Amino acid sequence: MITLSDILLPEDILLDLEVGSAAALFDEVGQNMQRWHGLPRVQVAAALGQREHFGSTALGQGVAIPHGRLAGLRQTHAAYVRLRRPMPFGAPDGKPASDFIVLLVPERATEEHLGILAGVSALFTDPRFRAALHACDDPHGVRALFRSWLPAAA
């Protein structure tokens, strides 16, 4: 099973991004995915926006996991975005979101997609992980944290 740390690349880690809406966030992610992976910016932003239209992907505690399926995509792509200023994102706890894990998955990657979502949810429910992540100030440090973090024993 693929995990987030297997697919999250330094070029897909955007720190201190300044956006004021979900649409602007999705467009920035689309631009990044087009620049580094050749994915069509408009298609990326539209897939993310379409999924969000059905209901917020915010988990709470300042975290959201926007995700979308792309026709013709051969492998899952991920991005981590940390906003300079949190923005409302329809979280169940009412808190604005500042941390976004964005997943773009092939149309038929259901089990892989669900496995990655579960792993991300487990990471971000740990307040120690969130604090360590916010202490990272460069993409390589963020990627290293995702690769090395072991969940607390239950």
Instruction: Spell 7-43 as b/e; 16+ CB within 10 A means b.
Output: bbeeebbbeebebeebeebbbbbbebbbeeeebebeb
Both ends of the chain: CA-CA distance in Å?
22
Q: Are 84 and 134 in contact (CB under 8 A)?
A: no
67 is catalytic: yes
Q: Are 8 and 150 in contact (CB under 8 A)?
A: no
Residue 89 CA to residue 91 CA, distance in Å, equals 6
Catalytic entry in 37, 67, 113, 134? 67
CA distances from 4 to 22, 65, 111, 152 (A): 22, 12, 14, 18
Tokens of 77: 């792509």
Enzyme catalytic residues? 67
